[in-house]
């Protein structure tokens, strides 16, 4: 199982605001592109992938939307609008939730009110954590276990203090090269590196 966590620091946790923000400063389209490249292959999808989208621009709690590709029945298309519609539906389902509550949205999709740090803490218990960093070890030199989890961010870089807490959880820094890439591009290259093994 491959797990991807995308921290979207500028993405609104209100469904209608999220959809209205496409092409604007928050860039929620990054969510759709990352989800698309994590789950889909030509004429099919990868059943062994879980994607968490953690949206943080909120008046109350961050939202972590979990997409389990193997359990999703009605994906409804892989275009940007369809995928952002899934995200907005999960956000609408999360209205009124208290801290660290969870709700099923549809088959293979759940939403939780949980902070990025807390989610990663939980994942650290049974996943091998990797955070993208240009100064990390090249991905081709890295050994991977059965449950790698890759931590990515949107167009806003991960805060420096976060790297320290991730390191304490055992996260290893890996790089895909010297050039900064979009999260959606990282996902493709990570899949390729793992597929080749």
Judged against a pLDDT cut of 80, whether residue 56 lies above it is answered with yes
Judged against a pLDDT cut of 80, whether residue 78 lies above it is answered with no
CATH code for position 85: 3.40.1280.10
Judged against a pLDDT cut of 90, whether residue 34 lies above it is answered with yes
Its pTM stands at: 0.94
Q: How far is CA 181 from CA 99, 134, 142, 155, in A?
A: 33, 10, 19, 10
What is the count of structural domains for the chain?
A: 1
Judged against a pLDDT cut of 90, whether residue 197 lies above it is answered with no
Instruction: Collect all residues with Cβ–Cβ distance below 8 Å to 55 and sequence separation of at least 6.
Output: 8, 11, 12, 13, 18, 31, 62, 63, 64, 65, 87, 91
Task: Name the percent of the chain lying above pLDDT 70.
Answer: 100
Judged against a pLDDT cut of 80, whether residue 90 lies above it is answered with yes
Would you state the pLDDT for residue 41?
A: 85
pLDDT bin (cut points 50, 70, 90) of residue 156 is confident
Would you state the pLDDT for residue 116?
A: 95
pLDDT bin (cut points 50, 70, 90) of residue 42 is confident
- CA dist 154 and 166 (Å) reads 17
- Range of 169's domain? 2-195
């Amino acid at each position: 199982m491959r797990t991807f966590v995308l921290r979207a620091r500028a993405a609104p946790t209100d469904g209608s605001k999220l959809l209205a923000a496409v092409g604007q400063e928050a860039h929620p389209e990054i969510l759709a592109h990352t989800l698309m490249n994590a789950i889909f292959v030509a004429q099919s999808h990868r059943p062994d992938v879980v994607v968490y989208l953690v949206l943080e621009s909120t008046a109350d709690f961050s939202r972590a939307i979990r997409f389990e590709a193997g359990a999703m029945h009605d994906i409804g298309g892989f275009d940007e609008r369809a995928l952002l519609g899934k995200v907005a539906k999960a956000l609408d389902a999360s209205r009124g939730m208290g801290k660290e509550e969870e709700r099923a949205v549809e088959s293979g999709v759940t939403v939780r009110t949980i902070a990025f740090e807390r989610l990663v803490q939980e994942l650290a218990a049974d996943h091998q954590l990797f955070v993208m960093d240009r100064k990390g070890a090249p991905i081709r030199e890295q050994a991977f276990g059965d449950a790698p989890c890759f931590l990515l961010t949107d167009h806003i870089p991960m805060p420096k203090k976060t790297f320290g807490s991730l390191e304490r959880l055992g996260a290893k820094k890996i790089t895909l090269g010297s050039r900064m890439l979009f999260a959606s591009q990282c996902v493709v290259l990570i899949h390729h590196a793992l597929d080749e093994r």
